Amino acid sequence: MMTHKAVAVITGGSSGIGAATARLFASRGYAVAILDVNEERGRKMADAISSDVGSARFFACDVADEKAVDAAAASVEKELGLAEILVTSAGLIPNTESVMDMDLEAHDRMWRVNYFGTIHACRSFGRQMIRLNRGAIVTLGSINSLAPMPLPAYNPGKLAVARLTQLLAVELGRHNIRVNSVGPTYVMTETLQSRVDAGLRDLKKIMSVHALDTLPDPDDIALAIGFLCSADARTITGVLLPVDSGWHAAVSYKTYAGGVPWKE
Ligand SMILES: NC(=O)c1ccc[n+]([C@@H]2O[C@H](COP(=O)([O-])OP(=O)(O)OC[C@H]3O[C@@H](n4cnc5c(N)ncnc54)[C@H](O)[C@@H]3O)[C@@H](O)[C@H]2O)c1
């Protein structure tokens, strides 16, 4: 009898955190489905993973489009089987701007991708998990889920994703499906590195508000996601797990007006 691999779906799996997560699940024996708008990169990533560590297939999909996500979910089911894992890593990352001056079209697009894209994927693949009566979902939050930052569409969107994660955890818990979020600080992806290189992010300033002197890389985030999806986390649901090099603890401590109790 043919046995099927469990299916892990990673939106935004063509690059960054999503790509590292796709690679991790493939290495753990899952049949990985990468959903992304970037077809060229996505196909290359799926091929690289398949020739390296395991099995990955690419499905072109704009997560902002509910019908496209539904269609991709039907293709995943047909080609690989019902999804048991979903990681919603597709997202747009902005630069600093003000509420008063921001471009409202870009604002709406960011919500469509980052927030509605998360809802679309959770609904389409959550329905497959309900049919399986098991599953785990991890959404991509951020330190932006925890505090205000001058990113008017992104910042409230990440707070909304954290709350959505809790709602889904309660709705889907009775189907044996857990729903959690990870909250990375600045992750050393190609995207962040290019913004540092272009002078749009100040690495020294970033490091001055962390407890550790190292930022997470995409593999660190993937490992936290892997933990949340594993049997080791079987009673953990509805949480936001910061993977933040101590940013949350350090940001107010290190900017205390009286200074820190050591010499810097
Ligand atoms: N990099 C960081 O510092 C950081 C920190 C906290 C949270 N996050 C979150 O992690 C997630 C992934 O970020 P990343 O750093 O890996 O970014 P990235 O730009 O490297 O990857 C994002 C992926 O999403 C895809 N994508 C964009 N719009 C899409 C759409 N409409 N439909 C389908 N795919 C789409 C892109 O093609 C890309 O492959 C995002 O939700 C981001 O907000 C990132």
Domains, the chain:
7-253 (3.40.50.720)
- Dist. CA 87 → ligand 1 center (Å): 11
> What's the confidence (pLDDT) of residue 263?
86
Q: Which of 58, 70, 88, 89 to mutate to test the pocket of ligand 1 (most atoms within 8 A of CB)?
A: 89
Q: How far apart are CA 13 and CA 11, in angstroms?
A: 5
Packing angle between helix 117-132 and helix 154-173, nearest 10 degrees?
A: 10
For the chain, residues with pLDDT lower than 70 are 1-3
Identify residue 11 by its one-letter amino acid code: T
Q: Give the nearest ligand 1 atom to 221 CA.
A: 10
Distance CA 241, CA 142 (A): 9
Q: pLDDT for 27-47, tens place per residue?
A: 999 999 999 999 999 999 999
Coil vs helix vs strand at 233: helix
Q: What is residue 133's predicted lDDT score, i.e. its pLDDT?
A: 98
The reply to whether ligand 1 has any atom less than 6 angstroms from the CB of 93 is yes
pTM for this one?
Answer: 0.97
75 CB within 6 A, ligand 1 = no
Helices (H), 133-181: 154-173
Cβ of 188 less than 6 Å from ligand 1: no
C-alpha to C-alpha distance for 78 and 170, rounded to whole angstroms: 29
Whole-number pLDDT of residue 189 = 86
CA 140, CA 89: separation in Å to the nearest integer? 6
Rounded to whole angstroms, how far apart are CA atoms 60 and 118? Answer: 16
**Contact 216 CB / ligand 1 (< 6 Å):** no
Confirm whether 154 is a catalytic residue.
yes
Strand, helix or coil for residue 60: strand
Phi, psi of 84 (to 5 degrees): -110, -25
Q: How far apart are CA 97 and CA 100, in angstroms?
A: 9
Ligand 1 mean position to 78 CA, how many Å? Answer: 26
